[in-house]
Amino acid sequence: MNPDTRQSTLPNSPQSILVVENEHLAAMHLVRCIEQIGVEIVGPAPSAEKALELVASEKPDIAIVDIRMPGVDGLELAQTLYNDHNLPVIILSAFSDPHYVQQASATGVFGYLLKPAMMDDLRVNIAIAWSNYTLVCQLNDQIAQLRDQLDKNT
């Protein structure tokens, strides 16, 4: 994964979160919890297709994506969101078995929440995911600067 260098434009915490959840009650629970945290909601999107539309039009800072959805699953969507849109993702799942966790880790997600996610779980996971994402952006900025310096010296 190679996020664009955008560190200088990142806020200290995410200002908007895309919620991707196909189960209406679970989506409404997430929305209520995130609103209580004080972050703007984008969505909820019931599918990967709708999520990608919202990303294009609303430009959220981070996404929380259900792992199991009809059509494109959450892990595939997470990979697309990060690789194509530089959007960090937290996976939401009812499954904690090592296979799902390993797949999520291989996809490069920034967090993994178990359902039902409570407000404190969300708040902490969002903060850590955002911190790790900003660190990745800082490192990518430094790598780009070093490459520029190397190119100038060769």
CATH number of the domain encompassing residue 96 = 3.40.50.2300
- SS3 assignment, position 94: coil
pLDDT for the residue 132: 95
Q: Which domain holds residue 122?
A: 14-153
**129 φ/ψ angles, rounded to the nearest 5 degrees:** -60, -45
Torsion angles phi and psi, residue 112, rounded to 5: -145, 115
Q: Provide the pLDDT for residue 2.
A: 42
Residue 5 domain flag: no
Report pLDDT for 148.
87
Residue 60 lies in a domain: yes
Residue at 31 is within a domain:
yes
Report yes or no on 2 lying in a domain.
no
Instruction: List, for residues 57-77, the tens digit of each pLDDT value.
Output: 999 999 999 999 989 999 999
CA distance 82 to 50: 16
* Residue 16: strand pairing partners: 40
Indicate the pTM of the whole model. 0.88
| Cis peptide bond upstream of 3, omega within 30 | no
pLDDT digits (tens, 9 = 90+) for 38-58: 999 999 999 999 999 999 999
Residues of the chain with pLDDT under 50: 1-7
